[in-house]
Chains A and B, each alone.
Chain A
Amino acid sequence: MPPFVGPEVAWFALSPLLVLSGGGLLLLVVGALTGRWPRGLYAAVTATVAGTAAVLAAIQWSRIADDGPSTLVAGALSYDAFAQFLTITILISVILVVLLTDEDLHESDADGPEVYGLYLMAATGGIIMAAANDLIVLFLGLEALSLALYVLAASARQRSDSQESGLKYFVLGGFSSAFFLYGIALIYGGTGSTNIGRIVASLQSSVTTGGDNALVLAGIALLLVGLGFKVAAVPFHVWTPDVYQGAPTPVTAFMASVGKAAAFAAIVRVLVVALPFYREDWRPAIWLLAVLSLVVGSALAVVQTNVKRMLAYSSISHAGFLLVAIEAAGHRAGEADPGSGVVALVIYLLAYSVLVIGTFAVVTVVGRNASGDVTLDAFKGLSTRRPALALALTVFLFAQAGVPFTSGFVAKFGVIQAAVEERSYAIAIIAMVAAVIAAFLYLRIMVSVWLSGESSDVDGEPDQTLRIPIGAGLAIAAAAAFTLVVGVMPGWLISTAEAVTTYAR
C-alpha cells in the first residue's frame, strides 16, 4: 500500500473559504472570551470578513479569466467562474443581511457574536456547495449551511414560534439530507465514484457501452428530492411558510438569499455539471417541479395575510422561475454551446438575493415598530409615515413582480429568453402567467402601503416613531440602488455572467 500523500493545496484559491471560516471561528471564540463588544462592532467585523472574502473572490475571478478553470485539493473543489460568481453573490447577501441584524438583535437585547458566527459558517457551507466538485464535498457544504440555518431559525430565544420554526426546519431538513445522501450512495454505486469529474468520465464510457443505469436513475430521483427540499420547490415546500414566518426576519432574508443561491448552485453542479448524460431523464422532472412551484407558489401567496408568509410563497414562485432556467440549461447540458440557462440562473440569483433582502429589510423595520406584527395592516399608510421607505419597498415589490427598469425584469427576461431559445414555449408562458398571479400579491402589499390609511387631511410629517436604523437604511438604499441600476443598465452584469458556463471538472 502506497504511503498517504496529502494533496497539493492551492492556498490562495481557497482564501475566501479560509477567511470566512477562520473569521467565523475567531468571532465565536474571541466573542465568548471577551465581554459584550460595543454596539455594532460584531456586525462591522462580520461585514469586514465577508467583504475581504468577496474581494479575494473578485481577484480570483480575473485570474480564472486569464488562466482558465481548474480543480483544487485533488479534485474536491472547482475553481471556476461559476463558483466565484456564486461566492460573490452569497457574500453580498451576507453583508446586506448583517446590516439588518445589528438592530434586530439589539432590540431584543440579544447582542452577541453567535448569530454572526453562524452567518459566516453558513456562507462557508454555501460557497462549498457552489464550488463542490465531489458529491461528498457538496454534502459537507450542504450540512454546514443547513445546520447553521437550523440554529439561526431558532435564534430568537424568547419567541416560541422561532423555536418551532427551527425545530420544524431541522426535522424536515434532516429527512431531506438523508435522501440526498442516499442519492449520492446510489450514484456512487452506478458510476464508481463521487467525484464529479470521474462520474462524467464513467458515464461517458457507459453511455457508449450501453451500461446499466437503474442505480443512477434512482440516485437522481433521490438527489432531486433532497435538492427540491432545499430550494423549496413544490411539492417539497411545506416547511417554507412556517419557517419563514417564525424565524427572525433577518434570518429569513438570509435563508431566502444565501440558502436559495447555494441550493441552486448545488442543482447546477449535480445535474448540469455531473449528470449531463442523463439530461433527458432529469429535465422532465425539473419541468414538473418548476410548473408546480410557479403555480402553487403564486396561487397560495395571494391568499395570505401575513407578509412574511406571502413572501415565503412568493419565494416558492421565484424558485419555480429559477427551475425554468435549469430546465432550459437541461436541453444542452454538457455540450460545447451550453445555451444561456445557467447564465440566466446566476443573474436571477444575484438580482433576487439583493431584492429579497431589501424587501425583508423593509419588513424588519416596519415589523419592529408594530411589535413583531407583520400582517398587511402593519404596512397601512406607510407612504405617509415614511415616504422614502415606502418608495424603496415599491421598487422591491415591482422588481419581484418583474416590472421593467428593475433588476427583477432583467432576471425574468433572461430566464424566459433562455427557455424560448430551447423552444420551451409552454413553460415560458406558464412562468409569465404565474408572474401575473404573483403580481396580485405585490399589489396587495402596495395597496396597504400607498392606498390605505391616508386618513390625515393635513400635511403629515414623517412619523418619528418609525425609526429607520442606520444599518437597515444602508442595506435598503444599497439594495434599491442595485435593483434600479441593473434594471436600467444590465449589460455589464450579463457580460460578466456569460463567463460562468465553463466549468472545472
Chain B
Amino acid sequence: MFGAVASGELAFPILSMLILVPVGGAVLVALLSARRPEFVKLAAVLTSVFTGALSIWLTIAFERSAEGFQFVSRHTWIEQWGISWYLGVDGISLFMVLLTGVLFPIVILGIDAHHKNARQEKRYLAWMLLLQAGVMGSFLSLDLFMFFIFFEIVLVPMYFLIGGWGYENRVYAATKFFLFTMLGSAFMLVSIIATAVLARDNGVGQITFDLVVLAEQSNFAASTGRWLFFGFAVAFAVKVPIFPVHTWLPDAHTQAPTAGSVVLAGVMLKLGTYGFIRFGLYLFPEAAWWSRSLFLTLAVIGVIYAAIVATMQSDLKRLVAYSSIAHLGFIVLGTFAITTQSLTGSVLQMVSHGVSTGALFLMVGMIYERRHTRQISELGGIASVAPIFAGFFMVIMLSSIAVPGLNGFVGEFLILIGSFPTARWWTVVAATGVILAALYLLWAYQRVFHGEADEANRSFPEIRAREVAVLAPFIVAIVFTGIYPKPILERIEPAVVTLVQHVESRSGFVEPVPGAVAGTSDQEGN
C-alpha cells in the first residue's frame, strides 16, 4: 500500500499531519470558550488521540528493511535562504515519533493536573498540544533550519507548563530550564548557519539546510568540522543533559507538574541524544570520532556521578531525575562508541528510558497526590497497605534498573556489549553504573514501600482503575520490549548500519567487529 518510498511524495502527507494536527488542536482549544470546558477537553483529547493513531499507523506502514528516509514530504519554505519544509522518518526517529504520538494522549487523558479554573485547563491543554507538535517536528525534520525552530519552540510550552502548573519553586525552575537550553541553542544556531555557508563553499555549491545534502556532499576541512560539531554538541549536551551542564534538569523535573516531568523525561530529553545521532554523527562523522573520548568520559562521569547523587537524595522525584541523567549517560556512551550494536542499543534505550522513566514519574506523581509529599523519609510501608500499587512500581523500577526480561535490559546490554570493542575502559566503568542503579532504586523502594507504615501512610489508597488504565500501556511496552525486541530492533538496525557506514567512509574509524556478536537472543533481527 505504501511501498518503499525513499524519496518522492505520498498522496497523504502523514508526517506533516503529525505536526499540524496538534497545532490545529491547540488553536481550536484556544478559540473554544472556557465556559464549556467539556468541549475544550474533548477537542484536546480527540486531536491528541488522532495524532497518536497516526503515529501508530506510521509505525505499521513503515517499510522495515528499507534504507533511507521514508514518507518524505518536501516543500520549499523560504526560497531565498534555501529552507524547505522537509520531513522524513527512518529507524532512528520512528520509535521516538511513536512514543511522542502515544505518550501525549495518555498524559492528557490520564493525569489530573488540578486546574484552578476552566480557563487554566484550557491553557494547559493548548500548551500540551503545542508541545506535542514541537517535539514531533524536531524528530521529523530533515532540514537544519526546521529542526532548530522546532527544537527551540518546545521551550515555550514547556516553560509555561513548568511555570504555571509546577510546585513551590516553579518559576525559578522554569526560567533556569529556558535559559540553559536557549544558551545551548545559541551556539547551535551559529553552527547551523555556518554549516550551510561553509558547505556552499566546500562541495555543495548553494545555500541549503538540507540535512542529507549537507551530510553527503560537504567536504569540510577536519578542523572546520570540529568547530561546527562543537556548536551543535553544546546544544545537545545541555538538552540531554550531559555532565556538567545537567544542573537545570533536577530543578526542572522536581518542580514540573507530573505531566511535565513525564513528557520531559519521556521525549524531550531525547531531543539531545537524538540530535547527537542524527546531526552530530551524520553531519560531522570525523569530528564525532575525533572528540569521542571527551564525550565518552563525560557520559561515564554522568553515569557514575548521577548515580551517586541519586543515592543521596531525600526527595523521590529528584532521585528519579538523577537516575534519568545516569541512564542518558549510557545512551551517550552508546552513541559515541559508534558501533552498530551500541548505536542500536542507544536508539532502543531512548525509547525504553522514555517509557520506564515516564512511568516512574507518573507513579511518583500518584504518590504525591495521595500523600502530598515527595520526601522518602515521610513515606514507608506502603507495600503493606497498597500491594498492587507497590507491584506496579516494582515492575517499572526493575525495568529502569535493567533487569533481564524487561525493556531496560535490552538497550543497556546492547550498549555495553557494543561499546566494549571501541571504548573498553569507559564501558567497564559504566557497567558499574548498572549496579549503582540497582542500589539507589532498590534502596529507595525499600524505604518507601517496606517497613512499618506510620499513621499517615496507613491510609494510603490502593491503585485506582483509572491509574491502572494509564499505567497499562507502559507495562505492556516494558514487558513486550523486554521479551520480544525483534520487531523494534529490525526497524532500527538498517538506519544504524547506514549511519555507521557513513561514519566509516568519512573518518579514519573502522568498526571493529562488523555485524553482531552471535548467540544473544536480541540479535535475531539481523
Contacts and interface: CB of A to CB of B under 8 A. Distances in A.
A428 B117 contact: no
Nearest to B190: A428
B179 A417 contact: no
Nearest to B159: A443
B68 interface: no
Contact of A420 (B79, B81, B156, B194): B194
Given A440-B175, A443-B175, A459-B34, A495 B116 contact: no
B81 to A, nearest CB: 7
A9 interface: no
A303 to B, nearest CB: 15
Given A440-B175, A459-B118, A495-B80, A432 B163 contact: no
Contact of A429 (B77, B81, B163, B190): B190
Contacts of B77: 491
B32 interface: no
Contact of B190 (A405, A409, A425, A460): A425
A387 B123 CA distance: 10
B119 A459 contact: yes
Contacts of A417: 81, 193, 197
A81 to B, nearest CB: 16
Contact of A432 (B34, B159, B186): B186
B182 A439 contact: yes
A413 B178 CA distance: 19
A450 B163 CA distance: 9
B171 A451 contact: yes
Interface string A29-49: 000000000000000000000
A409 B151 CA distance: 14
A436 B175 contact: no
Given A451-B171, A491-B77, A494-B78, A433 B183 contact: yes
A425 B190 CA distance: 8
Contact of B149 (A404, A428, A435, A454): A404
B251 interface: no
Given A429-B190, A432-B189, A404 B148 contact: yes
A436 B186 contact: yes
Nearest to B183: A436
A436 B119 contact: no
A398 interface: yes
B412 interface: no
A459 B120 CA distance: 9
B164 A451 contact: yes
Contact of B152 (A387, A404, A440, A443): A404
A436 B179 contact: yes
A440 B116 CA distance: 27
Contacts of B175: 440, 443, 447
A460 B119 contact: yes
A342 interface: no
Contacts of B160: 450
A440 B179 contact: yes
Interface in B193-213: 193-194, 197
Contacts of B179: 436, 439-440, 443
Contacts of B164: 450-451
B17 interface: no
Interface string A411-446: 001001100110001001100110110011001000
Given A416-B193, A454-B116, 6 more contacts: A404-B148, A405-B149, A413-B81, A413-B189, A436-B182, A447-B175
A-B pairs with lowest CB-CB distance, top 10: A404-B149, A432-B186, A494-B80, A420-B193, A459-B117, A436-B183, A451-B163, A428-B190, A436-B182, A491-B78
27 contacts: A403-B155, A403-B156, A404-B150, A405-B149, A405-B153, A417-B81, A417-B197, A420-B197, A432-B187, A436-B179, A436-B183, A439-B178, A440-B179, A447-B163, A447-B171, A450-B160, A450-B163, A451-B164, A454-B120, A456-B117, A457-B116, A457-B117, A459-B34, A459-B119, A460-B119, A490-B78, A491-B77
